Amino acid sequence: MKTTVKNLENKEIGQIDLLDAVFGVTPRRDILTRMVNWQLAKRRSGNHKTKGISDISGTTAKPWAQKGTGRARQGSLRSPQFRKGAVIFGPVVRDHAHDLPKKVRRLALCMALASKHKEGKLIVLDTAKADTHKTKALIAKFTKLGLSSALIIDGANLDPNFAKAARNIPHIDVLPEQGANVYDILRRDVLVLTKNAVEQLQERLK
């Protein structure tokens, strides 16, 4: 299938072929959900922790005699029922990442790309380059393209001026092709790919 190629002035300058194996797959909500959960779980720091009884500093002596005091028996002042005591079954430092097959991850990325194409929210640009690093000039071009929430994916090497100009614009993200991922594609309204990015993604995912 073919789609229109535009420039930053929102003028049509040609067409490009999109592979059915990448942009023509049928999106499945369950696959996309698994992929997003995998991404978010993998990036969690997992450094939350509470102190168990072995982590509490304090005496190890038995507080009082087992019998004869009229009080409940106790074995440690560091137990959770006492002030400044331990926490039972609290969180510990751990890795939240889980496994997801590589084929499922590849399929999910294809589905994310295909979903934007099917919704009519895919724009293919000739190039993503700017003459200056000033944000104001780039905002004017994005206004012509109707972009207010977009992920822009270029080839392996981003144009420095374009990347600098775009990074101060709210709800606009710029990534190189190797950084393309399901979560960032779905969290923005429009997906913008350069011709170079389309070719590299298709070569990688076909």
Contact in structure between 6 and 145 (CB atoms under 8 Å): yes
Dihedral sign computed on CA atoms, order 111, 31, 101, 182: positive
Per-residue confidence in pLDDT tens, the chain, 206 aa: 889 999 999 899 999 999 999 999 999 999 999 999 999 999 999 999 999 999 999 999 999 999 999 999 999 999 999 999 999 999 999 999 999 999 999 999 999 999 999 999 999 999 999 999 999 999 999 999 999 999 999 988 899 999 999 999 999 999 999 999 999 999 999 999 999 999 999 999 98
How many beta carbons lie within 10 A of that of residue 72, not counting itself?
Answer: 7
Phi first, then psi: what are they for 162, rounded to 5°? Answer: -65, -45
DSSP for 33-61, written as a single string: HHHHHHHHHHT---------TTTS-S--S
